[in-house]
């Protein structure tokens, strides 16, 4: 119960970040674990050292309280931090997510990349929906890192 007697808490947090968080929180327990990220990326942690390193990197960057999970406030800080960097030196968890999604390494997450990841997370999206997301991110045939952040923050 809030001090005012209200049972709701108003927040200024961006609702789009919550939905991006929920996509990564595969087991829907309110926190992102290594297993959630492994499931999201569609592989087992033991499948390769490179994939394990990428997930470990993401967790290390985002898990500021070192409890083994990324809670929403940590996720929000990481995403905001990645979007605010202007020196071109991004190394946060969202940059790792982008690299994994950009399967061909061309610096863009294209239509098939985005559709594949949405499908992996249980979200079905039509081709028109994917095209609209890419346009929202500022692209025609794909989006760069900043464009992906823009899509996830809506």
Percentage of the residues of the chain whose pLDDT score is greater than 70: 68
Q: What is the mean pLDDT of the chain?
A: 74
The DSSP output letter for 123 is -
pLDDT single digits (tens) 106-150: 899 999 888 887 776 667 788 998 999 999 889 888 999 888 888
Structure tokens given for 119: 């499908």
Residue-level pLDDT at 71: 94
In the chain, the domains with their CATH numbers are 15-152 (1.10.238.10)
- pLDDT higher than threshold 90 for residue 65: yes
Q: Cα–Cα distance between 32 and 73 in angstroms, integer?
A: 11
From the number of C-beta atoms within 10 Å of its C-beta (0-12, 13-18, 19+), residue 4 rates as exposed
Bridge partners of residue 32, in order along the sequence: 70
Check residues 73 and 116 and name the one with the higher pLDDT: 73
Residue-level pLDDT at 15: 52
Beta-sheet strands, E only, within the chain:
109-110, 142-143
pLDDT single digits (tens) 38-58: 887 665 444 455 556 677 777
Residue-level pLDDT at 58: 77
């Amino acid at each position: 119960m809030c001090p005012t007697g209200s049972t709701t808490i108003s927040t200024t947090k961006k609702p789009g970040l919550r939905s991006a968080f929920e996509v990564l929180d595969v087991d829907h327990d309110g926190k992102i674990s290594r297993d959630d990220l492994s499931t999201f990326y569609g592989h087992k942690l033991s499948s390769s050292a490179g994939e394990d390193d990428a997930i470990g990197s993401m967790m290390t960057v985002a898990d500021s309280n070192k409890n083994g999970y990324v809670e929403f406030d940590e996720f929000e800080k990481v995403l905001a931090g990645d979007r605010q960097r202007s020196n071109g030196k991004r190394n946060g968890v969202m940059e790792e997510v982008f690299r994994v999604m950009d399967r061909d390494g061309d610096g863009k997450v294209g239509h098939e990349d985005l559709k594949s990841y949405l499908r992996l997370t249980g979200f079905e999206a039509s081709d028109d929906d994917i095209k609209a997301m890419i346009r929202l991110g500022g692209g025609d045939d794909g989006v760069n890192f900043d464009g992906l952040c823009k899509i996830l923050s809506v």
